Structure 1
């Protein structure tokens, strides 16, 4: 088997591998059948090999995800391709209010093996409605996992883990990565810890001058910057790329962050209640204190909101919750 030349080729091969492994897996999307193979050619050849499992659909994002949800509830599995991540807003209700809640609202755990693939980001000249990074709209939704494609995480194991996790998931795929090589710059050393890829470029010094924490879509740009920083300014650095953006375990990030002289969290999405905001806050709180104590963030629990009133009160922020948080910070 030849090594894929591009990340897009690796993703295509991964989808083929999963379809061959599991006859109950379906791939759904607009124009994904041959000869088109989707807007970016990622599914090219798959409908010819798996005509029963690879199905081109009408232009109805909510309908496509709704069918995928139904397949999952019936015991099958589904991967949905959005033509552009911008269009995932049309399926927001099916993802957030149905798929994410279906894991818990039937009286017993119900697996929802649904993955929604979203080609995201700009740098392709596609304009305002075809270039957005809408990850932040799904960060923090209870019952929903959010991942991002990178050159450092093999697509087949990643997709297999997403389908086997029991929760619906979104996979954001920066469009510029499709043509990128699936192997990093040979100047950089890559290792993996807890689902996080660590990329190093250094001059042999034990401590890094800086640490970048970024999702996979920024990996190529981050590596280019790291190369320049080393060769032109003799600055050594680390790049941490988590495969799963939410829920995010920050523990694998802490050793590299503690050893770096400066830490930068980088993302393509806009500011506000975004992934990078949360990561920066959690790192700040874990690593650096202040005379008045670390900044605290008070939020509802990461659980689906129950119907019973007494359970609902436990999940949502109440007056008593705020009082307890203030008292804890005053000790």
Structure 2
């Protein structure tokens, strides 16, 4: 059964005449008759009663015409919706994000994207690195803002930002008020506060310490980087933090931030499932993200 056969049956029922139906359909009458016979044989029912003066639908024909009209209407609506999405007059974009990125990058990007594409609905999914990787690889998000390294081999990514990593220490710490970058090895005996397992920045903490030749003594864990900073300010330990979290204003409840001589960085990437279709809305979001970050880092 083909869509054109549905339209043929509808036109025949409307005109009650093969010649007039063929004329309206811009095909030869023998071809129209042939297609109808072929369809009736496939369905094993007669759709029309042929007389010398007219063509009348059978009971099965009336049901077929009604259902066929619904199908063709749905197909036309689908075509229109796809055209709207292609032209980005409407659509939905699911964006996965880590809490740190969501709090500091998206407020720069989303207003701009919304202004350029007001008909695109953006849905945010905030979760851990491991869960976002699974979601993105399976198509649960269109794109996700993550950091390297990515574990899931079913993801492809492109970088959009390189960010320095610093150290947060309490304000009465022995290294507080040091203005020069320090060696990472100086921190080997310090108690560390870190994000819980499954979060990308937790792995960065472990890897940085490993590069300096020690295993961090993690005394507290949290799912929230703001909580990590608050615990540092409360003199519970020290922590690695991305540069975007460093507050420009000082208060009694904020840590002191140190730079490291090795200038470690993390690479922020926008990831998507390998081989998965990337909608025009997702492509536009990626371009908006890159343009916005470039403007704010230069």
TM over 0.5: no
Structure (1/2) with the larger helix percentage: 2
Shorter-chain TM-score: what band?
under 0.3
The one of the two structures with greater contact order (alpha-carbon pairs below 8 A, sep at least 6) is 2
Structure (1/2) with the larger strand percentage: 2
TM-score w.r.t. structure 2 length?
A: 0.26
TM-score w.r.t. structure 1 length?
A: 0.24
